[in-house]
Chains A and B, each alone.
Chain A
Amino acid sequence: MRVVIMGCGRVGAGLAQQLATEAHEVTIIDTNAFAFQRLLPEFVGKRLVGSGTDDRTLIDAGIEHADCFIALASGDNRNILASEKAKEVYGVKTVVTRVRDPLRSEMFGRLGLQTFSPTKFGIDLAHQALVTAAGGQ
């Protein structure tokens, strides 16, 4: 499948490499070319400097023919804007959005975006670890 990834942080870069080794066609976008240093030299996907909220960048990334779009930039609001655009304007079938704020993640999830909140996972894991360690005191 054709995947556009917004944001080449640790998660974006790692996901891009994993998908590329599975023979998916990957384009990764970041506003800062420096971020691409996180990609291993053998990464065969396309790297594109630009903002995922910008229509021209999205079109250059092949959004019009993409099967999936995933927003993993640092700002929640930018991820939401880019995802709504991918879904509503470019008709991308599968759109996944990282929203750090658990409340916003929940709300936009209810509005129809496929969101996930790493903060929520973190809270749950920390809570579980703490409660387990304390052994029901």
Chain B
Amino acid sequence: MYIIVVGGGIVGYGLALELQRVSDTEVTIVELSASRASQLRDELGEMVVHGDGSEIAFLERVGARRADMVIAVTADDGANLVACQVAKHWFGVARTVARVNDPRNEALFLKLGITSTVSAAGAVMAQIETSLPQHTLVPLMALQSAGLKVMDMRVQDGATVAGHALRDLKFPTGVLIAVVVGPNGARVPDGDTVLTPGDEIIAVIPHEAEHLVRAMVTVNDGM
């Protein structure tokens, strides 16, 4: 797989370190500042290229045509949006991921066809939600095109679903309980699986069913 990362700031650098460890993955980091690029090059080597990741001619040179994914993580939302749109529409890159610095831009980016967005605010929120003792639903991944979300939920004491076998529970249509993690580890549930308070569930949920599922798994919706 070939991945182009646009932006060699803290986020791009961290991402490069992670991606380097993934086998069969080729990564190019594009950095606009010459001094930052040469600094990164000293540490990461040939994978770092100095250039403008929203410039069509330059992206062509770093092989955007054969890229499987473009991830734009600069501090400039305009540059991230344009890099992803150019990748998608000019070079036909299948997956584009944009960092959103201003959370208000997120909906627009998705509307314009960016595959997914990452926002610091969103990541921090997810982190906070997981560390709250009564944490219930944490979105793990959004499957935009299908209108689905992969969620991590914890069954609360006294929740509607607690103490019941899956076959007796009426989850909204389209909800798929994929994995149940209890004290004895993870298991793929069947109809006989009884949900116990404290169990962690990983489920695929249609967007519109999220609040219904939340109501079934938690005691009171307010956090």
Chain B contacts of A88 at CB under 8 A? 108, 111-112
Q: Does A11 contact B (CB under 8 A)?
A: no
| B108 & A89 in contact (Cβ 8 Å cutoff) | yes
Beta-carbon nearest neighbor of B111 in chain A: A88
Check B159 for interface membership: any CB of A closer than 8 A.
no
Contact of A81 with B77 at beta-carbon distance under 8 Å, contacts A88-B111, A104-B86 already known = yes
State whether B82 touches A85 (Cβ < 8 A): no
Contact partners of B104 in chain A: CB under 8 A:
55
- Report A79 CB to chain B, min CB distance, Å: 8
Pick the contact of A104: B82, B102, B108, B111 (CB < 8 A): B82
Within A88-137, which residues are at the interface with B (CB < 8 Å)? 88-89, 101, 103-104, 107-108, 110-111
Which stretch from B50-58, B127-135, B136-144 is at the chain A interface? Answer: B50-58
- Whether A77 and B79, one on each chain, are in contact in the complex, defined by CB atoms closer than 8 angstroms, is yes
A76 to B89, CA, bound (A): 17
Q: Is the CB of A81 within 8 A of B81?
A: yes
Please classify the interface of chain A as helix (H, G, I), strand (E, B), loop, or mixed, using the class held by over half of its residues.
Answer: helix
Task: Indicate whether B26 reaches chain A with its CB closer than 8 angstroms.
Answer: no
- B86 to nearest A CB, angstroms? 7
A30 near B: Cβ within 8 Å?
no
In the complex the two chains form, is A84's CB within 8 Å of B77's CB? no
- In the complex, the answer to whether A104 meets B78 with C-beta atoms within 8 Å is no
Task: Count residues of A near B (Cβ-Cβ below 8 Å).
Answer: 22
Is the CB of A80 closer than 8 A to any CB of chain B?
yes
A53–B54 contact, CB under 8 A? no
- Say whether A77 contacts B82, CB under 8 Å: yes
For the complex formed, measure the closest distance between the CB of B69 and the CB atoms of chain A, giving whole angstroms: 20
Contact in complex: A104, B56 (CB < 8 Å):
yes
Cβ of B108: which chain A residues have Cβ within 8 Å of it? 84-85, 88-89
A75 within 8 A of B: yes
Give the distance to chain B from A10, nearest Cβ to Cβ, in Å: 22
Interface residues in chain B, defined as those with a beta carbon under 8 Å from any beta carbon in chain A: 54-57, 76-79, 81-82, 85-86, 89-90, 102, 104-105, 107-108, 111-112
Interface residues of A (CB under 8 A from B): 53-55, 75-82, 84-85, 88-89, 101, 103-104, 107-108, 110-111
